[in-house]
Amino acid sequence: MSRPTLTEHLIASDAPPALRLLIETVAQTCARIADAISQGALGGVLGDAGTGNVQGEQQKKLDVIANDMMLAANARNGTLRGMASEEMDDVSPLEASDAPYLLLFDPLDGSSNIDVNVSVGTIFSVLAAPRQPRAVTAEDFLQPGRDQVAAGYVVYGPATMLVLTCGRGVDGFTLDRHTGSWWLTQPGMTVPAQTREYAINASNARHWFDPVKRYVDDLLAGKTGPIGKDYNMRWVASMVADVHRIMSRGGVFMYPRDARDPDKPGKLRLMYEANPMAMLVEQAGGAAHDGTTRILDIAPTGIHQRVAVFLGSREEVERAAAYGSD
Ligand code: AHM
Ligand code: MG
């Protein structure tokens, strides 16, 4: 069967050459990250790095390795004016030039799963750089998610897959580990509007605000409750893996704000987790909101800002929103 490679697909879809080069560099880097992950204990890559990031989280060795790989590979291809990452306190400006893009990424999402050999991922978001050829600052990155030029993730699962949008639908590519090529295997991915599957870390139930409690109670009540159908539940604790399941067969993913720490509006980060996932899910026909607002319309105030996330099958996300926020 003849299928296009990522390069052929990007050429056929008229992606500007700089965007094509950027996406191909990210994809090649992720293929190398996949290789490092797959070495496991043999590669000496498991365990803690012994350092923390700006979020106050312990870094895994692979968090640092993946971050360094992304930085090194993307610094010199001439497409970027700056990068920002979950693992770096501040944005990393590149030389002032007329390079057209900014790149934000979570180099290794779900890294608590690394040491137990469960799927993890890389998430990325591409924004336009300012028109003037000057050094970029953090403010230049603070654009609403609806202005993203492209977004994607790579899931390091039983197969390594890249799921990508450049603003005209969503396509899935599978990595051939022997040749390093990415092949279009899931063109035009869509999220079914309805679902019978939800994803939430229910160990936080006692901290949830009332609307989330009521909604999850109604999901649990199944056929005999007000929603009138039985649901199944899944929680990988790797957002990439949970979202990939939803991109493949539908579902609703929730990481709500809760009462544990009023200064933290949720756990996940807007700029390099929620925004790219929201763009992908919307481009596939789904929906994404924070309980009150469409995620892609949130005006960002900080690179590492956190946000509540409800995303996935459109009708289920709308149902969750109808319960209110807090
Ligand atoms: P990370 O980027 O530091 O790995 O954290 C984000 C991850 C998500 O992938 C996942 O959905 C969530 O944290 C799981 O959180 P919890 O351990 O509270 O269930
Ligand atoms: Mg993450």
Q: Which atom of ligand 1 is nearest to the CA of 241?
A: 9
Does one domain contain both 313 and 244? yes
Distance in angstroms (rounded) separating the CA atoms of residues 121 and 155 = 4
Q: Are residues 115 and 20 in the same domain?
A: yes
On whether both 42 and 104 belong to a single domain, the answer is: yes
Among the atoms of ligand 1, which is closest to the Cα of residue 273? 2
Instruction: Give 13-44 as a 3 state SS string.
Output: CCCCHHHHHHHHHHHHHHHHHHHHHHHHHHHC
Which amino acid is present at 48? D
How many angstroms does the Cα of residue 94 sit away from the middle of ligand 1? 29
- Does residue 191 sit within a domain? no
pLDDT of residue 271: 98
Residues 75 and 130 in one domain: yes
> 227 C-alpha to center of ligand 2: Å?
32
pLDDT at residue 1, rounded to an integer: 59
Instruction: Say whether pTM exceeds 0.85.
Output: yes
Residue 162 tokens, joined: 């890249």
Residue 110 and residue 238 in one domain: no
Domain contains 36: yes
Same domain membership, residue 181 and residue 32: yes
Q: What is the pLDDT of residue 58?
A: 77
> Which residue's CA is minimally distant from atom 12 of ligand 1?
237
Ligand nearest the Cα atom of residue 122: 2
Residue matched to tokens 């990325």: 124
Lining residues, ligand 1, CB within 6 Å: 57, 86, 106, 109-111, 201, 237-239, 255, 267
Rounded to whole angstroms, the Cα distance separating 167 from 170 reads 8
Place of tokens 């492209």: 150
pLDDT at residue 49, as a whole number? 76
The answer to whether 36 and 43 are in contact (CB under 8 A) is yes
CATH number at residue 93: 3.30.540.10
Residues 175, 223, single domain; the answer is: no
pLDDT of residue 45: 76
**CA gap 82, 69 in Å, rounded:** 15
Domain shared by 94 and 152, yes or no: yes
Which residue ranges in the chain fall short of pLDDT 50?
Answer: none
Identify which of 255, 261, 277 to mutate to test ligand 1's pocket (most ligand atoms within 8 A of the CB). 255
CA of 64 to the centre of ligand 2 (A): 13
Is 147 found in the same domain as 110? Answer: yes
Note the pLDDT tens digit of each residue in 210-254.
999 999 999 999 999 999 999 999 999 999 999 999 999 999 999
Q: What is the pLDDT of residue 123?
A: 98
Question: How confident is the model at residue 46, as a pLDDT?
Answer: 83
Alpha carbon nearest to ligand 1 atom 14, residue: 237
Query: Which residue, by CA, sits nearest to atom 6 of ligand 1?
Result: 110
> CB of 120 within 8 A of CB of 109?
yes
Ligand 1 centre from 110 Cα, in Å? 5
Local structure of 77: helix, strand or coil: coil
Of 186, 206, 228, the last residue of a domain is 186
Task: Point out the domain boundary residue: 147, 165, 186.
Answer: 186
pLDDT tens column, 112-163? 899 899 999 999 999 999 999 889 999 999 999 999 999 999 999 999 999 9
Does residue 313 belong to any structural domain of this protein?
yes
Does one domain contain both 132 and 260? no
CA gap 257, 268 in Å, rounded:
10
* Number of domains, the chain: 2
Question: Ligand 1, from 240, 261, 268: best to mutate by most atoms within 8 Å of Cβ?
Answer: 268
* Residue to probe by mutation, ligand 1, list 58, 85, 112, most atoms within 8 Å of CB: 112
**Whether residue 11 is found in the same domain as residue 148:** yes
Residue 34 one-letter amino acid: A
Q: Which domain holds residue 212?
A: 197-322
For residue 122, the CA-to-ligand 2 centroid distance in Å is 8
Domain boundary among 186, 206, 239: 186
